Amino acid sequence: MPEGPLGFTRLTASKPTIAAISGWCLAGGLELALWCDLRIATADAKLGFPERRWGVPLIDGGTQRLPRIIGMGRALDMILSGRIVSSEEACDMGLVTEVVPDGRHLERALEYAEGLAAFPQETMLADRRAAIEGFGLPLEEGLKLEAESALPTREVAWRGAARFAGGEGRGGKGAGV
């Protein structure tokens, strides 16, 4: 199916998406998590593509998204071997954004989402678009895309720069989510 077996995995969301992972995140579940921008997992989470053992292919973007997230070598290890990794190893390789205590994954994902929602949306979404669409382009083309994406946000950017020049956020206060 052109839209992907899950119905949307060939599309790019219009805003940031966060997967909250607890327990087993395997096969299509991992492909769904890879569709998201960020992944918050519990300490007991396990991630992998065990379908390799039965000859079932990855068909919801796993072969394309995993290498982009963790690099080709690590991705091929998981894709070819069917090896299942712990949330700690997944975090070390960049597959998982953050590991939280068991039972706190959804709460932390919502906190993260609320933090992102508090930022000026125009610039955050423009930067997200430039990162996603520019990945894999030659640097010169990526820089051009970044500049084009930022241009419509200049009013918001100037206001933000003025707030920073006025002292807001000094010393990292209010940085991050």
| Annotated catalytic residue within 3, 31, 148, 155 | 31
**Annotation marks residue 51 as catalytic:** yes
| Annotated catalytic residue within 51, 98, 122, 133 | 51
Ramachandran bin of 13, using left for φ above 0, alpha for ψ from -120 to 50, beta for the remaining angles: beta
Q: Yes or no: say if 130 and 145 are a contact pair by the CB < 8 Å rule.
A: yes
**Annotation marks residue 141 as catalytic:** no
Active site residues: 31, 51
